[in-house]
Amino acid sequence: MRTVFQAELKQVGDELVAIARLVRQALSEARSAFLETELETAQGVISNDARIDLLQDELDERSIDILARQSPVASDLRTLVAALRMSTSLERMGDLARHLAQDARRRFPEAVIPERLADDYARLFELDLAILDGVIEMLETRDISFYERIAEQKAQVSAMHRGILDAMGRPDWDAPVHTTVDVTLSARYLERMSDHGIAVARKVSYLVTGQWAPPA
Amino acid sequence: MRTVFQAELKQVGDELVAIARLVRQALSEARSAFLETELETAQGVISNDARIDLLQDELDERSIDILARQSPVASDLRTLVAALRMSTSLERMGDLARHLAQDARRRFPEAVIPERLADDYARLFELDLAILDGVIEMLETRDISFYERIAEQKAQVSAMHRGILDAMGRPDWDAPVHTTVDVTLSARYLERMSDHGIAVARKVSYLVTGQWAPPA
């Protein structure tokens, strides 16, 4: 009985990793769509998001089924409840990747952002992808030494997000209004992505140590 | 034993209602702060948000404790898992009310939004408050007849949100860049608020009927 249960818990963990990998792929493709104005790549991200939503639903149903049949307690119970929470964060990260792809599609063949912000956005995507890589490592290995680096990367994203808002406040900002709107929203999507990433990383860290890391 | 358990489930339900009421109060005060440029009201919303976060943490711990001690199955299990989910949505709605109050504080004594959008924003706040009223009614009474009206109000919020984005795209939009940024973000906060509201309403509806309502 315990062996079946441990196998079921492991499967939940494997499915979380599978969802995180799909989100990473979505964000990587959203980056190409967004920074290289690739319409077909954007379409792919948008249509594939339904698969992430479906996997999240399946994972949730499986977790509730395990709760009902196995009545876990202590750390096993916390692992399952955390899985429900983490799947919600990952699903939301998939939505944010889709929003970025939708921005790219709406402005195609124009770029969403002005050329002067291209380097900043390339760095923001890179940081969010690195955060997702760290989250996947933590989900797979339960090695909490990744947490600190993820928190640093998240702090960098927040600082860059503030920097972009500041740039729009300066007198030399001469982009058209629709670009100001697009930059405001897309920079926020990238910042929210890092928020959800650190939230997942904190939960893994809590499951391993029994202590909440300070909020990043 | 069953009686204790039912009392515990009822307490979880009561606490969800208590959190929802605090969120409603936060949004109502954020409206005054935002539309009437009231600095002290804004400060109040910002400092009271910690109380919503604390109540959510307590509700989560209580739900996990009940899961561990009572090993509920079937609809009782789903009720508890849904409570975990709904508390997350309500906590996030509290964050969004705080963001709106922070906007008001940052721009004080100026208004966040241009005069020409004042009526639209008044209506958006009113709709989100009505959605929260409906959510509170559903949590208290389990009467799912409120769901349809909430879905309609949510659709109105989405349409108004699109209308505001469109208004910023027209040639007569002459607001300063920082106002464009503020309108873009604050309109999104109000739209996200309605998303979380309908998500909670759908979960209550699911718990009562066993069927998911179509996404609003």
| CATH classification of the domain holding B25 | 1.20.58.220
pLDDT tens sequence across A43-92: 999 999 999 999 999 999 999 999 999 999 999 999 999 999 999 999 99
Nearest to A42 by CA among A26, A28, A30, A27: A30
Residue A215: what pLDDT?
72
Residue A34: what pLDDT?
97
Sign of the Cα pseudo-torsion (B110, B115, B119, B120, in order): negative
B86, B159 contact by CB (below 8 A): no
Cα–Cα distance list, B154 to A164, B125, B144, B148 (Å): 31, 12, 16, 10
pLDDT per residue, tens digit, chain B (216 aa), is: 578 999 999 999 999 999 999 999 999 999 999 999 999 999 999 999 999 999 999 999 999 999 999 999 999 999 999 999 999 999 999 999 999 999 999 999 999 999 999 999 999 999 999 999 999 999 999 999 999 999 999 999 999 999 999 999 999 999 999 999 999 999 999 999 999 999 999 999 999 998 888 776
Does some domain include residue B196? yes
Residue B216: what pLDDT?
65
Percent of chain A scoring above 90 in pLDDT: 95
B26, B98 contact by CB (below 8 A): yes
Residue A54: what pLDDT?
96
Å between A169 CA and nearest CA of chain B:
6
Residues B148, B119: Cα–Cα separation, whole Å: 25
User: What's the structural domain count of chain A?
Assistant: 1
**Which band of pLDDT confidence, cut at 50, 70 and 90, is reported for residue A210?**
confident
Kindly report the pTM of this predicted structure. 0.96
Does some domain include residue B216? no
The count of other CB atoms within 10 Å of the CB of residue B53 is 14
Å between B178 CA and nearest CA of chain A:
6
Residue B1: what pLDDT?
56
Residues B148, B204: Cα–Cα separation, whole Å: 13
Does some domain include residue B215? no
Stretch A25-29: mean pLDDT, rounded? 98
Does some domain include residue A13? yes
Chain A neighbors of B85, CB-CB under 8 A:
84, 88
Cα–Cα distance list, B147 to B64, B91, B93 (Å): 28, 21, 18
Per the listing, tokens 């709605």 go with B93
Residues A73, A2: Cα–Cα separation, whole Å: 13
Beta carbons of A169 and B184 less than 8 Å apart? no
Does some domain include residue A215? no
Scanning B45-64 for CB atoms below 8 A from A yields: 64
The count of other CB atoms within 10 Å of the CB of residue B18 is 16
* Both structure tokens of B174: 């002459």
Nearest to A142 by CA among A200, A216, A71, A64: A200
Residue A213: what pLDDT?
83
Residues A70, A46: Cα–Cα separation, whole Å: 37
Does some domain include residue B149? yes
A1 pLDDT higher than 80: no
SS (H, E, C) B58-84: HHHHHHHHHHHHHCCCHHHHHHHHHHH
Beta carbons of A168 and B184 less than 8 Å apart? no
Residue A212: what pLDDT?
85
Residues A69, A66: Cα–Cα separation, whole Å: 5
Does some domain include residue B214? no
**Domain range for residue A161?**
1-209
Does some domain include residue A32? yes
Stretch A152-171: mean pLDDT, rounded? 97
Nearest CB among B85, B173, B184 relative to A185 is that of: B184
Helices (H), chain A: 2-35, 39-70, 74-107, 118-141, 146-169, 177-209
Stretch A12-16: mean pLDDT, rounded? 96
A100, A33 contact by CB (below 8 A): yes
